[in-house]
């Protein structure tokens, strides 16, 4: 038993750093190819024709579907979560749907909590779910009714005055930790985490969010698309960054309490998988609208991007990280093939046939594509169950391209929604995104849509 445990520990220590860094591989050939558009009689072309009248350019929403506007808004800007969208987008959609006090909104991919926080601020009730522990923690923290600011200030002051000492524990023995932090910084992180754990909730969560928010700044990494990129920069002082972050967060709370006079909506954040019926029975058939953005079909693996934060929250070893990865929606390259998840979508079959004819830079792309739409099919079925008759959905999505094959995600999801009883009302094209540099090098520039899909429950 001891030898087996030692072998497992050695495997963790020897773990390849690429598991947490880039998963992209250079294509075998750099030869410039012409990416042929789908044939006029192809399934994807039929989809484009079928939904052409519903496609509306709303490029004025280009910035609103990004996290950028939130960077200057108190509380919304807590923690760097660049995959989110803006507070203003949620406010606009609440107005479009005519939702006021007493209405209920659901976000199945709560992320950093923008939908939930905006609903709370604007007096609309909301519930959100997510499977990523970092997202759940941040979303819950943002919508918390914090105690008196004096209490938080005393806690921050106590933390700042804690005398440095050797921590009792250590960070997980995962390769990315050693790449990101020096041994000295690792000990400093654990020291502050152990000090924070002494505080009662929710004060401890406030302090821990501050610590999570500065991990990247104190590391030799930067979040970059699908992975953490190693960067050559001197890390900041963890203690200085943490205390400055907590001070900024307290100033945000002071500003919001002074400026906000409206009644708050009631908000609930639940650990749950949108592919399952994870909401309690009282929410079934009670939701007025869904405002969300599922992970894009773009290979991004949130367990890699947020590996540092996960290691501070709940990941104790490499096996834990893998478990988190395989709980995520299958939008990343390490998605596994699942049996028993039926999917009737001819466009998916067509894309997989075409990909099968090509030299792919990663042979797992077809598994990811099928898995993504199998998973989203389950999500859509559950949204229908949660919504009231006539309930509305606003879904922010982006199309994709692999080996020159276009994937019109927005239209394909609309097809799946129609199978479950939704009517597609409109598809707003908010911006056109360039394909990846690798794709452009081979196939040329072929922009893809980023859209907001609007559905209505047809009952």
Secondary structure class of 128 (helix, strand, coil):
strand
Secondary structure class of 104 (helix, strand, coil):
strand
How far apart are the C-alpha atoms of 58 and 96, rounded to whole Å?
Answer: 14
- Residue 27 burial (CB < 10 Å; 0-12/13-18/19+)? middle
Q: Write out the two tokens for 386.
A: 């949660």
Q: In sequence order, what are the residues at sequence separation of 6 or more whose Cβ sits closer than 8 angstroms to the Cβ of residue 155?
A: 199, 203, 206, 207
How far are the Cα atoms of 110, 135, 233, 325 from residue 65, in angstroms, in the given order? 15, 18, 31, 25
> Do residues 222 and 231 lie in contact, with contact meaning Cβ atoms separated by under 8 Å?
yes
Q: Write out the two tokens for 227.
A: 């992975």
Task: Output the tens digit of pLDDT for each of the chain's 459 residues.
Answer: 444 334 333 333 333 333 334 333 333 333 444 444 567 679 999 999 999 999 999 999 999 999 999 999 999 999 988 889 999 999 999 999 999 888 999 999 999 999 999 999 999 999 999 999 999 999 999 999 988 899 999 999 999 999 999 999 999 999 999 999 999 999 999 999 999 999 999 999 999 999 999 999 999 999 876 678 899 888 789 999 999 999 999 999 998 876 665 568 999 999 999 999 999 999 999 999 999 999 999 888 999 999 999 999 999 999 999 999 999 999 998 888 776 677 889 999 999 999 999 988 889 999 999 999 999 999 999 999 999 999 999 999 999 999 989 999 999 999 999 999 999 999 999 999 875 556 555 555 678 999 999 999 997
pLDDT at 300: 87
Exposure of 71 in the CB half-sphere (CA atoms within 13 A):
9
Bridge partners of residue 431, in order along the sequence? 450
Quickly count: other Cβ atoms within 10 Å of residue 189's Cβ.
Answer: 25
Q: Which residue has the tokens 């079928």?
A: 50
How far apart are the C-alpha atoms of 444 and 161, rounded to whole Å?
Answer: 57
pLDDT at 225: 65
Phi, psi dihedrals of residue 41, rounded to the nearest 5°: -100, 10
How far apart are the C-alpha atoms of 286 and 292, rounded to whole Å?
Answer: 17
Q: In sequence order, what are the residues at sequence separation of 6 or more whose Cβ sits closer than 8 angstroms to the Cβ of residue 163?
A: none
DSSP for residue 5: H
Domain extents for the chain?
A: 1-26+146-263
Residues 97-103: contacts with CB under 8 Å, at least 24 apart:
97/288, 97/289, 97/392, 97/394, 99/124, 99/288, 99/289, 100/124, 101/263, 101/265, 103/288, 103/289
Geometric angle at alpha carbon 266, from 264 and 269, rounded to 5°: 130
pLDDT at 283: 96
Q: Which residue has the tokens 């598991």?
A: 19
Q: Which residue has the tokens 């960070």?
A: 171
Give the start-end residues of each E strand in 219-286. Answer: 221-224, 227-230, 267-271
Quickly count: other Cβ atoms within 10 Å of residue 103's Cβ.
Answer: 19
Phi, psi dihedrals of residue 397, rounded to the nearest 5°: -140, 170
The number of angstroms, rounded, from the C-alpha of 387 to the middle of its chain's C-alpha atoms is: 23
């Amino acid at each position: 038993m001891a030898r087996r445990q030692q072998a497992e520990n050695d495997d963790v220590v020897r773990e390849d750093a690429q598991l947490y860094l880039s998963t992209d591989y250079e294509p075998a050939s750099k030869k410039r190819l012409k990416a042929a558009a789908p044939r006029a009689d192809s399934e994807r072309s039929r989809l484009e024709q079928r939904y052409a009248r519903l496609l509306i350019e709303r490029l004025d929403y280009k910035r609103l579907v990004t996290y950028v506007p939130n960077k200057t808004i108190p509380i919304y800007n807590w923690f760097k979560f660049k995959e989110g969208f803006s507070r203003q987008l949620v406010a606009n959609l609440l107005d479009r749907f005519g939702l006021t006090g007493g209405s209920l909104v659901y976000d199945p991919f709560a992320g950093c909590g923008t939908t939930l926080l905006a609903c709370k601020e604007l007096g609309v009730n909301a519930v959100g779910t997510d499977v990523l522990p970092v997202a759940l923690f941040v979303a819950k923290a943002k919508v918390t009714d914090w105690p008196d600011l004096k209490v938080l200030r005393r806690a921050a002051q106590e933390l700042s005055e804690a005398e440095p000492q050797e921590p009792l524990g250590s960070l997980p023995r995962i390769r990315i930790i050693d790449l990101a932090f020096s041994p000295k910084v690792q000990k400093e992180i654990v020291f502050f985490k152990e000090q924070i754990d002494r505080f009662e909730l929710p004060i401890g969560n406030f302090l821990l969010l501050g610590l999570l928010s500065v991990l990247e700044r104190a590391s030799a990494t930067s979040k970059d698309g699908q992975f953490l990129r190693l960067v050559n920069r001197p890390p900041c002082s963890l203690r200085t960054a943490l205390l400055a972050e907590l001070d900024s967060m307290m100033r945000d709370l002071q500003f919001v309490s002074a400026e906000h006079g409206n009644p708050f909506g009631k908000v609930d954040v639940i650990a749950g998988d949108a592919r399952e019926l994870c909401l309690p029975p009282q929410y079934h058939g009670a939701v007025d609208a869904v405002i969300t953005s599922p992970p894009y079909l773009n290979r991004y693996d949130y367990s890699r991007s947020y590996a540092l934060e996960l290691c501070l929250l709940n990941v104790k070893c490499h096996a834990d990280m893998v478990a988190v990865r395989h709980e995520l929606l299958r939008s990343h390259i390490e998605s596994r093939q699942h049996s028993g998840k039926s999917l009737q979508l001819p466009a998916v079959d067509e894309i997989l046939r075409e990909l099968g004819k090509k030299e792919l830079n990663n042979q797992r792309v077809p598994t990811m594509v099928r898995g993504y739409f199998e998973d989203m099919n389950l999500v859509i079925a559950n949204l229908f169950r949660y919504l009231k008759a006539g309930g509305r959905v606003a879904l922010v999505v982006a199309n994709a391209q692999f080996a020159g094959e276009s994937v019109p995600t927005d239209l394909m999801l609309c097809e799946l929604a129609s199978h479950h009883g939704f009517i597609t009302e409109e598809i707003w094209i908010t911006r056109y995104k360039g394909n990846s540099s690798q794709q452009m090098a081979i196939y040329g520039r072929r922009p893809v849509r980023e859209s907001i899909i609007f559905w209505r429950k047809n009952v």
